[in-house]
Every structure is written in C-alpha cells, then in structure tokens.
A = this chain, B = another copy of it.
Amino acid sequence: MRLVIEMMGGDHGVKATIPAVINFHKDYPDVELFAVGKIEVLQELEGVATLIDARDEVAVDATPLEVLRARESSLLKAINVVLDEKADAIVSAGGTGPFLSAATLKLKLVEGVERAAILAPFPTKIKGKQVAILDIGASNENTAKHLYQFALMGQFYAKAALNVENPRTYLLSNGTEDSKGIPVVVEANKLIREKNVPNFLGNIEAREVMSGDADVVVADGYTGNILLKSIEGTAKTLSGGIKKAFKRNLFSKIGYIFARKGFNEMTETFDYKNTGGAILIGVNNVVVKAHGNSDPRGFYSALVVAYKMAKADIVNEVRKGMQDVEA
C-alpha cells in the first residue's frame, strides 16, 4: 500500500504532521509513505518516507483555478505523486476547498458518480457506534440525484468501513414525514424510494442524527455543513461549561478527581480528533481531509482512516456499487 501525505497544510503544519507520520510508520511499517513539502523541514522523516520537495503552499481560500496553477504547491505535487506512483490514498490537513477541487479535478470522479461528497463518521449515544453523514460541505447546492447517489455511497462506506451489513439510511430534513423539507429533499426522498435503496427509512430530524438509530444520514452539502458545525459548536460550548463547572471551587475540584475517568471517556467519544478526518467519497482514490486544527494525534488518526479506507478498498466498492445500480 502506498500513502501520500501533504505535510504543510493545517494550523500546526509539520509540528502536527511529522510526529504523526513517525508514529504511523511505527505502527504500520508495511505502508510505503510519500511526504510532500519543503524538504528542509522534513529531514526527520528520512528513512520513514520518500521525501518530495514542494516550495509553495496553497492558500486555504484559493479558488480552483488558483489551485491548478500552483504547480509547485505541496498540494498539487502530492496529488501528482498519487497519479505518478499509483498511490492508494492521500491525506492533507490543508484548506477544504482547495484540497477538494484539486482532488476532484485531477483524480476524477468514479464513473457514474455525478458529484463527490465529504463524508464523516460521527459518534452516537451508543458506545462504539458511529453514523456516517454526507455531504457535509463539498457542494453548496445539490440535485435530488446527487442525494440519491450520496445514499448509495454512504451505504458502501458503512458496509466497508463501519462493518454494518444493511445500513439504516435516512435523509436529513425538518420533519420525518416524506412531504417535509425543501423541494430538493422532498424530491430526493421520492427518488430514493423509487430506486428501492435497501433499508432507506425516510427522513430524520437533526436532533435524532446522533441517537444511534441511523448508520447513514444523507444531506445536501449546505445543510450538512450547518449540521456539522452546529454539532461542533454545541459540543465545544458544553465542554467549556463542564470545565467551568469543575473549576468552580475546591469541592468541585475534588469532585473532578473522582469523576474524571468517566468524563474523559465521554470527552474521548465526542472528540472529533479521534474520528481522524472526513473522506471525499466518489473520487478515484482514498482522499482524507484531516481537521485543519489537527494535533499529532488527530493527524495520526487521519492517516489510520486513509489506511483503513484503502484496506477496505472503498474506491472499488463505490465503483462496483455504482455499476450494479446502473446495470
């Protein structure tokens, strides 16, 4: 297996990526690694990864055209390594927009797929159980057919990556009845039913997404992004409240000593750094977007996600699945 890592992106740059790559290499010594970035700051990776020099970096808000023109950027060079070396996967913590446009334009969509989606596994109330949500922001607007294809791709993912045999699949809306939602959602509900997508259980409201009932939740990219960021924001606000509650006084601090194990376990469950990163599903490679603020542990998890996705042959699963459906 060959894994390409864009080293420079993310809020912490090589401070996060280098230790993550070193740890990953220890745990998965058989994976061939390619590290792309300013070669002089990557010397620690000598012997761990093939180092590929790239002098530039892409701005997080670069347009697709600017991205494609930035030939000396670590991002574009990394994607070229994927193509040249027939690598299985690529990981970056750089800006979502540039990474996704470069990946879509250069690596191309799987045949039959009209639009790639960003998919992330979220924790649920049920310990150890995750729910795959897509699209959480690759698109701004989607058609009903996109949403139908997201349902299929979400299922291929849940089968391959979450080991769910017959994924319980829902469509995000503002009510559970089939008639609820903006027009594209109503139309998508109808289309997914017409196409007899197995175990499609209709609409789900945002408050039930993490209840543990759903394995796959489909949303248009705009609404999915609002959902993702509301969950993040609320979790952050509440954890802040928890910390404050513990620091209240001497007694609460003593309380913390007794209760911390349980709390840390809960915080772990809801820490997005543990889920590692979102994947861009529907393109001809495993493309993993690590959180922009990934620390070494977060970036390591993203590398593990890429490894697992490549191991599960998710791209081929999507390819075969799309062929079966179209046939």
Contacts and interface: CB of A to CB of B under 8 A. Distances in A.
Interface in A229-272: 229-242, 244-246, 248-249, 251-252, 254-263, 265-266, 269-270
The range of chain A's interface size is 35 or more
A208 interface: yes
A258 B266 contact: no
A251 B263 CA distance: 12
A235 B234 contact: yes
Contacts of A255: 254-260
Contacts of A174: 137, 140, 222, 225-226, 229
Copies in the complex: 2
Interface string A203-244: 001111111000000000011011111111111111111101
Contacts of A230: 206-207, 209, 226-227, 230-231, 234
Contacts of A237: 124-125, 210-211, 270
Interface of A: 61, 124-125, 137, 140-141, 172, 174, 177, 181-183, 205-211, 222-223, 225-242, 244-246, 248-249, 251-252, 254-263, 265-266, 269-270
28 contacts: A61-B177, A125-B240, A140-B182, A172-B226, A174-B222, A174-B226, A182-B222, A207-B233, A222-B223, A223-B226, A226-B230, A230-B234, A231-B233, A231-B234, A234-B234, A234-B235, A235-B238, A238-B266, A238-B270, A245-B262, A246-B262, A251-B258, A252-B259, A252-B261, A254-B255, A255-B255, A255-B259, A259-B259
Given A207-B229, A238-B238, 14 more contacts: A174-B225, A205-B229, A206-B229, A206-B230, A206-B233, A207-B233, A210-B233, A231-B234, A245-B259, A248-B261, A252-B261, A254-B258, A255-B257, A256-B259
